[in-house]
Amino acid sequence: MRNEQIKKTKTVCTYCGVGCSFTMWTKGRKILKVQPEIESPANGISTCIKGKFGWGFVNSDDRLKRPLIRKNNKFVEVSWDEALDFAAAGLKRISDKYGGDSIMFIASSKGTNEEAYLIQKMARQIFKTNNVDNSSRFCQAPATTGLWRTVGYGGDAGSIDDIYNSELVMIVGANTAESHPVIATRIKRAHKLNNQRLIVIDLRRNEMAQRADLFLHPRPGTDLFLLSAITKYIIDNNWHDKKFIEERVNNFDEYYKSLDNFTLENAEKITGIDKNEIIKVASMIHSVKSMCILWAMGVTQHSAGSDVSTAISNLLLITGNYGRPGTGAYPLRGHNNVQGASDFGAMPTYLPGYQPINDKNAIKKFEKAWNTKLPMNPGIDNVSCIENIDNDKIKAMYIIGQELAETGPDTNMINKSLEKLEFLIVQDVFFSETARYANVVLPSCVSLEKEGTYVNTERRIQRIYKVMEPYAETRPDWEIIQDIARRLGYNWNYKSPSDIMDEAASLCPIFSGVSYSRLEGFNSMQWPTYENGDSSKYLYKDGFNFPDGRARLYILKYRPPIMEDDDYPLHLNNGRMLEHFHEGNETFKTPGIRDKAPDTFLEISPELADEYNIKTGDFVRVTSRYGSIKVRALVTDRVKGKELYMPMNAASSDNGINLLTSYNRDPDSDTPAYKELPVRIKKL
């Protein structure tokens, strides 16, 4: 250590989709400081607590050090050769016996683009299955569905700069100050300095709601009605952008007619929002020249997540808020590379670059490049794979960097399903809850120990560099996947992640011209990219992503949410905490952050606390139809009435939110309705 030099390396934060980049100062494995740079394209000189101080887990003693194989129900350390032979033989055995469609592949949304590309290539080229997915199924798949229906691309329509420069920002169902802090900082600055208007629609009076010019708190699950009523009121008053609609949008008349039922009076009855507040929102939209709408899991993790996302896009279309600076739709990505994992093909119905699996020209191109015959039947996604394990269709899984046993809905059910698998490979940084069910556990590097690229929420492709050598015997995911492919008889020969990117760029029009040399240092590219190196700061300037270049207004029907009943009279919502990342298996292993926020809690409104005689710090039992947990109460006016709130991350596996959640899903995206959770509580 004494002889080691101080090294400065550019990297990208792995804690959320903002994609902050910075210079990391290290001495050996010791992280000295994180220094954001003025050249950092997404964040400039800002970071949040996680990007700055959230790296302790990298040197945690809990990290996996060597491969493990389960023998006689005990995990024993083995050599890499033995583990890789065992993994390859297990996949081959299952494929020979039941066919390639009996295996499910899950890419990590924290892994690099190149790693997502390779795991989907393994599924398609070697096992002839489209059963490959990533974490977007648990969060933003409904937003993607809503945008595909209306404007054609699933990605954010513009850039973080557009959010900053917009005259009006509307945030629906997103806790931006805690989940995407650097974007929140820019909104706060624009609100204060540039007179940017801010509207927040949420169940909880979070920090952005407290700062907003207008905060609306509709009844749970009624956002679609509220947004459609705002849209109708704008059109009724002739405030819609007629020129934009005439030149660029299809089926306006039919769509407007479908809004007949979304009157102010009906909206007031269903959403609980006073009709004057709805008029106020519509008037604010009418008074500005540009508007961005941001949303996250408060919208998507509902049984109507895709439809509400569609309603947001419809509202932007009728007001002409696409294709110009300062406008657009922004479904904020949670995992740092959930966008990239989807972009690079870890999806059951799309090849890399969003080329449909039934597009004959795309299939022909990939078959030629990969010298194989590709499957054209849609694959299974990583939520329905659970019922397909129960139905005996899925017999094996290869899970990379996803804590399915804690993040999937209804933990008890998922654990039973994982137990039933005939073969399970888990590739991860820690011995996760999911790893308990594995036959083989492969230890992988963290982002600081490898090279690659990520895509942030604004479609920005950025490079990461190797900051330090791999911990113990860990290896980069791309090398592990390649070594298994070779053992299965495929002569993959990628010397570095750059070779993988070159192949992906040659096969995907949206990544034309992407190369590591163009991404050197803090340089970045936003897809769709072009051969000459040009990027797309915002989408839809010259038309929407449909053959006729015109957007589609999509007709929607309101479906009431899954509500409380007599046995479960309260509504439990959940979301992120500033300090922790998702299930928390990295941040709870980072001492400074863990000490600041050591465990989960249940937020209770003052009126409910009075009714149940609960004080802050009391233990409470929370019970749903699917399970029960014990948790400490926090009495706060951030929530009101019969609504409760819990962070999604817990320090221990016996009080995680998903012990309570159900397998109910949005039928259009298969995303679990984590936020529609009727419960009851009891003071302990």
User: Binding marks (x or -) toward ligand SF4, 170..209, rule CB under 6 A?
Assistant: ----------xxx---------------------------
Q: Is 31 in the site for ligand SF4 (CB under 6 A)?
A: no
**Stretch near ligand SF4 under the rule CB under 6 A, chosen from 17-25, 439-447, 475-483, 499-507:** 17-25
User: Is 160 among the residues that bind ligand SF4 (CB under 6 A)?
Assistant: no
340 binds ligand SF4 (CB under 6 A): no
Stretch that binds ligand SF4, among 15-23, 377-385, 396-404, 483-491 (CB under 6 A): 15-23
Q: Does 464 bind ligand SF4 (CB under 6 A)?
A: no
CA 448 to CA 200: how far, in whole Å?
Answer: 36
Pairing of strands 68-71, 74-77: antiparallel
Pick between residue 197 and residue 335 the one whose CB is nearest to ligand SF4. Answer: 335
Which residue number, 47 or 662, has a Cβ lying nearer to ligand SF4?
47
Residue 55 binds ligand SF4, judged by CB under 6 A: no
* Smallest separation (angstroms) from ligand SF4 to the CB of 147: 22
Least Cβ distance, residue 377 to ligand SF4 (angstroms): 37
User: Interhelix angle for 264-271 vs 275-286, to 10°?
Assistant: 120
* Segment interacting with ligand SF4, rule: CB under 6 A, options 40-48, 558-566, 624-632, 654-662: 40-48
CB of 412 to ligand SF4, least distance (A): 31
Q: How far is CA 479 from the centre of its chain?
A: 25
> ∠ CA 555-311-212 to the nearest 5 degrees?
160
Part in contact with ligand SF4 (CB under 6 A); list of ranges 47-55, 104-112, 218-226, 588-596:
47-55
Q: Determine if 574 is a binding residue for ligand SF4 (CB under 6 A).
A: no
- Rounded to whole angstroms, how far apart are CA atoms 24 and 32? 8
If the CB atoms of residues 69 and 177 are measured against ligand SF4, the closer one turns out to be: 177
Token pair of 23, please?
A: 């210079």
158 binds ligand SF4 (CB under 6 A): no
Contact between 460 and ligand SF4 (CB under 6 A)?
no
Q: Does 20 bind ligand SF4 (CB under 6 A)?
A: yes
Q: How far is the CB of 182 from ligand SF4 (least distance, A)?
A: 4
Taking the complex as a whole, the smallest distance from the CB of residue 579 to ligand SF4 amounts, in Å, to: 10
Question: Which residue's CB is nearer to ligand SF4, number 20 or number 414?
Answer: 20
- Regarding 13 and contact with ligand SF4 (CB under 6 A), the answer is yes
φ, ψ of residue 90 to 5 degrees: the values are: -65, -45
Does residue 15 belong to the site contacting ligand SF4 (CB under 6 A)?
yes
User: Whole-number minimum distance, CB 310 to ligand SF4, in Å?
Assistant: 27
Shortest distance, position 48 Cβ to ligand SF4, whole Å: 3
Among 23, 31, 41, 48, binds ligand SF4 (CB under 6 A): 48
Task: Please give, one letter per residue, the 3-state secondary structure of 103-137.
Answer: EEEECCCCCCHHHHHHHHHHHHHHCCCCCEECHHH
Q: How far is the CB of 43 from ligand SF4 (least distance, A)?
A: 6
Kindly identify the residues of this chain, within the stretch 214-243, that bind ligand SF4 according to CB under 6 A. Answer: none
CA distance linking residue 592 with residue 445, whole number of Å: 22
Which residues touch 73 (CB under 8 Å, ≥6 apart)?
A: none
Q: How many residues bind ligand SF4 (CB under 6 A)?
A: 14
User: What is the nearest approach in angstroms of ligand SF4 to the Cβ of residue 8?
Assistant: 18
Torsion sign (Cα): 230, 233, 237, 241: positive
**Is position 51 an interface residue for ligand SF4 (rule: CB under 6 A)?**
yes
Give the burial string for 432-451 (b: 16+ CB within 10 Å, else e): bbbbbbbbbbbbbbbbbbbb
Strands 21-27 and 6-12: antiparallel
- The minimum distance between CB 183 and ligand SF4, in angstroms, equals 7
Closest-approach residue to ligand SF4 (CB): 51
Minimum CB separation of residue 514 from ligand SF4 in Å reads: 21
Q: Taking a C-beta distance cutoff of 8 angstroms, is the pair 504, 320 a contact?
A: no
Residue closer to ligand SF4 (CB basis): 178 or 428: 178
* Best CA proximity match to 481, nearest among 346, 381, 373: 346
Q: How far is the CB of 410 from ligand SF4 (least distance, A)?
A: 28
Can residue 47 be called a binding residue for ligand SF4 (CB under 6 A)?
A: yes
Rounded distance between C-alpha atoms, residue 34 and residue 20, angstroms = 11
Task: Considering the complex, state which of residue 19 and residue 331 has its C-beta at the smaller distance from ligand SF4.
Answer: 19
Helices vs. strands in the chain: H and E counts, helices first: 24, 28
Give min distance, CB of 341 to ligand SF4, in A. Answer: 16
Q: Exposed, middle or buried by CB within 10 Å (0-12, 13-18, 19+), for 37?
A: middle
- Beta strands 628-635 and 619-623: pairing type? antiparallel
Q: CB-wise, 90 or 181, nearer to ligand SF4?
A: 181
50 binds ligand SF4, rule: CB under 6 A: yes
Q: Which is nearer to ligand SF4, 21 or 314 (CB)?
A: 21
Q: What's the residue count for the chain?
A: 684
Contact 358, 366 (CB under 8 A): no
CA dihedral sign of residues 428, 180, 277, 158: negative
Decide: is 332 part of the binding site for ligand SF4 (CB under 6 A): no
Work out whether 43 is an interface residue with ligand SF4 (CB under 6 A).
yes
Q: Based on CB atoms, which residue is closest to ligand SF4, 54 or 408?
A: 54
Q: Specify whether the CB–CB gap between 305 and 221 falls below 8 A.
A: no
Phi, psi of 537 (to 5 degrees): -65, -40
Q: Identify the CA nearest to 584 among candidates 476, 675, 656, 676.
A: 656
Cβ–Cβ under 8 Å, residues 645 and 657: no
| Residues 6 or more apart whose Cβ sits within 8 Å of residue 457 | 17, 18, 19, 156, 160, 180, 330, 331, 332, 333, 339
- At residue 233, the 3 state secondary structure works out as helix
Cβ pair 558, 270 in contact under 8 A: yes
Q: Does residue number 57 form part of the binding site for ligand SF4 (CB under 6 A)?
A: no
Cβ of residue 586: shortest distance to ligand SF4, in angstroms?
Answer: 11
CB of 33 to ligand SF4, least distance (A): 14
Contact residues for ligand SF4, defined by CB under 6 A: 13, 15-16, 18-20, 43, 47-48, 50-51, 180-182
